[in-house]
Amino acid sequence: MEVSSPQKLLYPADGVTKAHVVAHYERVATAMLGVSGRPPLLAGRPLTLQRFPNGITAKGFMQKNAAKYFPASIERCAVPKRGGGETLYPVVTQAHDVAYLANQNTVTFHMWTSSAARPGYPDWMVIDLDPEDGDLAGVRTATRNVADVLAEFDLEGFPVATGSKGFHVWLALDGSLHFNDVSRTARAIGGLAASRSPAVMTTEFLKKERKGRVFVDWLRNNPTATVVVPLSLRPRSGAPVAVPLRWDELNTVEPTSWKIDDLGDRVDVLAAALQREPQSLPTTQIIAAAEQAGVDLDTPHDRFGRRTTT
């Protein structure tokens, strides 16, 4: 596609131009859409676009509403707002529209874990392992602990190096469960993992209560919450990319190991991960195990994870 202002520096310290960013998304757009016959990634989902019109060193913004000038090939998903009205989320189904949005200075794509067609029924579960800055050993341990809990229930996800501070664990679902069940089960999985390594992990949202531990964030599994799409760029020094990993790589790589010009075989790794059969969550067993371990599943919280009194 013809790039507007191709020499604009979106990563000034790294010399990465807008043309460079668009070219990245042209290379990976098809892979970002997902694999036919499996839960898709970006394709068919409400998106939030993280845009930086003046580069990542200037103020950017998160865009939920599709702009009126977006082409008709980018669909709109109407979602009611809490205070009235609606948000018209952009929904992409074609690779060229990923590049189009990159040309609108989108640096990072954030997606729902459910589709626009079935918004109440997620087909991905994502557990976000968020460490204190620099705690690489802790976040590796936390990620492995989540994988161990999943394995106890015959579940297998794949890890993602986020291009930021931590790792994600992604689990493809068969889409049979409502968000209420998936969210509670994710909270149980995170709580089980944290209860077994309390010196390393916590489900405490408030940073002042984490005491340097890795935050096990189950909140990515709430309705309208978003997660960074694999192969997205991140607005950080070096132009890092969120990429899928093989489990045997976890202890040798960092969350920012892959950069815009150094993806290696990550597209192939993603394709292999997406070929796995979607799984059914044994919610009853997982929740029972968490309750037996004393995991708090009932304290009310807001959509950000802060405890509430109602």
- For position 128, which CATH number holds? 3.30.70.3300
Write down the pLDDT at residue 299: 83
In a domain, 67, yes or no: yes
Write down the pLDDT at residue 257: 97
Pair (139, 201) in one structural domain: yes
Q: Domain tally for the chain?
A: 2
In a domain, 104, yes or no: yes
Report d(CA 90, CA 75) in Å as an integer.
Answer: 6
Residue numbers of the domain that contains 162: 124-224+278-292
- Residue 304: which pLDDT band, with cuts at 50, 70 and 90? low
Tell me what the mean pLDDT of segment 283-310 comes to. Answer: 84
Q: Could you tell me how many residues make up the chain?
A: 310
In a domain, 57, yes or no: yes
In a domain, 87, yes or no: yes
Q: Domain containing 72 — which CATH number?
A: 3.90.920.10
- Residue 305: which pLDDT band, with cuts at 50, 70 and 90? low
CB 252 within 8 A of CB 155: no
Write down the pLDDT at residue 306: 66
Pair (233, 166) in one structural domain: no
pTM > 0.75 = yes
Pair (113, 198) in one structural domain: no
Q: Which amino acid is at 179?
A: F
Positive/negative CA dihedral, 284, 289, 293, 295: negative
Pair (285, 139) in one structural domain: yes
In a domain, 273, yes or no: no
In a domain, 256, yes or no: no
Pair (147, 220) in one structural domain: yes
Taking every pair of Cα atoms in the chain, the longest distance, rounded to a whole number of angstroms, is: 59
In this structure, the number of other CB atoms found within 10 A of the CB of residue 194 comes to 24
In a domain, 38, yes or no: yes
Strand, helix or coil for residue 62? strand
Pair (156, 218) in one structural domain: yes
In a domain, 231, yes or no: yes
Pair (177, 192) in one structural domain: yes
